[in-house]
Each structure stands twice: as C-alpha cells, then as structure tokens.
Chain A
Amino acid sequence: QKEVEQDPGPLSVPEGAIVSLNCTYSNSAFQYFMWYRQYSRKGPELLMYTYSSGNKEDGRFTAQVDKSSKYISLFIRDSQPSDSATYLCAIGVWGNNRLAFGKGNQVVVIP
C-alpha cells in the first residue's frame, strides 16, 4: 500500500466552479499536511500548510484534514483559469524532513 494515494485523474471544471481534491494516507504517524500547486515544467509552489484536524482557509483555498479517517482535502472556490495546474498533496512527520507526495491532480479551469 502506498503511503499517499491521490487519484491522478485530470479534472476539468468551468470557471467559477468549486474544485475538490483529496488524498488518503496509510501511516497514522503523519502529522502535518501540505498542498502544493505546480504549473507545467515548474517547481511546486506551497499553497497550504496545516497540522491539525479541521479546516484552514486562505482566500479561495480551504484545506481540510480528518486524521481519524486519514483523509485530506483541498477546495478551491470561484475557480479561475489561472488555477489550471497540477495540485500535489504532501505529508510529513515531525522531526523527519522527508515529505511523501501524492501523484498529483491536473486541474483545468475552462473560461
């Protein structure tokens, strides 16, 4: 079983829609959670960083963590064409700098 599962299927949505992305993980030792946005042929850009169950909002982005279910989500409200990118979840353990990544979700927002 992989440490982090992220359904890599591409996602196309119309502009203004809500985008919902999620990852599941297998190791309950994971303690902090990040979402990165990666444009084509560029490095990942940090969007959200959280370490507790519940919701964290930043503008149009909401990160949700459910540690009991080992499930994390990212929601993008009022999606814009500029949100078209690949979104990667990344999970880590305190004191261990290795991040475990999902495969990424390619999102296309259609004007």
Chain B
Amino acid sequence: DAGVTQSPTHLIKTRGQQVTLRCSPKSGHDTVSWYQQALGQGPQFIFQYYEEEERQRGNFPDRFSGHQFPNYSSELNVNALLLGDSALYLCASRSGEDEAFFGQGTRLTVV
C-alpha cells in the first residue's frame, strides 16, 4: 500500500501565476482533505472532497479551488499566487470516521 501520495514534492512559482497540486489517497479511502501548513504553524484546513463534491471549506479565499475524480484522487488549484501562499500543502485521506493519513506534502515557494 503506497499510502497517500502527492505530486510534485517541490514547486517554485512566480506571483500571479497559477498552480495545480495532485493527491492520490490511500487505498480504500474515499475522502480527501487539503491543508496548508505555513512554516512553524500547524496545518490549516482548506477544504474536503467526498463523492466528487466539495463538502466543507475552511477560511480560504476563492483563489483556492479543487476537484475530486471518480478514482478519488484530487487536485488543489491556486490562482493569482501571492507570496503568502508559500507553504507546505498537505493532502489527507480517510474513510468515514477512521484515522486521517497524510501525504508527504508539496512545498510551494512563491517568488
């Protein structure tokens, strides 16, 4: 079992650009959540996808959007990047109320 996999591992983008991050959930998991973790902080919830729909959303602007595919994999899109968007972006998957497992994250640097 490969667990939760994220790609790419690192990314450097310029202010104003758009970025797409990808996540494949752990086998058997159908729910995917995305978190943003700034340096020295705990992860902050962005949104959660289940059955290809956004079910919950944290306090993030509309520049952050996502998608879930029929195979449960997910994408996180961020438009009009700001310097403050530089962070580790984490994907977590779970099934029902079971434990949430995280991927290794994508480190995004906006310059």
Q: Contact residues of A with B, CB < 8 Å?
A: 4, 6, 8, 32, 34, 36, 41-46, 49, 88, 90, 94-104
CA distance A108 to B59 in the complex (A): 33
Q: Which residues of B contact A98 (CB under 8 A)?
A: 33, 45, 48, 56, 58
Q: Does B94 lie at the interface of the complex (its beta carbon under 8 Å from any beta carbon of A)?
A: yes
> Is B97 within 8 A of A42, CB to CB?
no
Nearest chain B CB to A97 CB, angstrom units = 5
Which residues of B sit under 8 angstroms from A100, Cβ to Cβ?
A: 45
Size category, B interface: 20 to 34
Task: State which of A8, A43, A97, A104 has its C-beta within 8 Å of the C-beta of B90.
Answer: A43
From A8, A42, A44, A45, contact of B43 by CB (8 A): A44
A88/B107 in contact, CB under 8 A:
no
Spell out B's residues near A (CB within 8 Å): 4, 6, 31, 33, 35, 40-45, 48, 50, 55-56, 58, 88, 90, 92, 94, 97, 99-105, 107
**Cross-chain contact A44 with B58 (CB below 8 angstroms):** no
Return chain B residues, CB-CB under 8 Å to A36: 102
Decide if the interface of chain A is mainly helix, strand, loop or mixed: strand
Question: Closest chain A residue to B92 by CB distance?
Answer: A99
Per the bound structure, the CA–CA distance linking A41 and B100 in Å amounts to 19
For the complex, what is the distance from the CA of A111 to the CA of B69, rounded to whole Å? 47
Minimum distance in angstroms from A40 CB to a CB of chain B:
11
- How far apart sit A74 and B4, CA to CA, in the bound complex (Å)? 25
Query: Interface residues of B: mostly helix, strand, loop or mixed?
Result: strand
Q: How far is the CA of A93 from the CA of B91 in the complex (A)?
A: 19
Do A42 and B105 have beta carbons less than 8 Å apart? yes
Which chain A positions have C-beta within 8 A of B104? Answer: 42-43
CA of A4 to CA of B103, assembled, Å: 23
Which of B42, B56, B88, B103 meets A97, CB within 8 Å? B56
User: Is B102 within 8 A of A43, CB to CB?
Assistant: yes
Q: Which 7 A-B pairs have the closest CB atoms?
A: A101-B42, A43-B102, A43-B104, A98-B45, A44-B102, A43-B105, A97-B48
CB distance from B40 to the nearest CB of A (A): 7
- In the bound complex, what is the Cα–Cα distance between A103 and B4 (angstroms)? 23
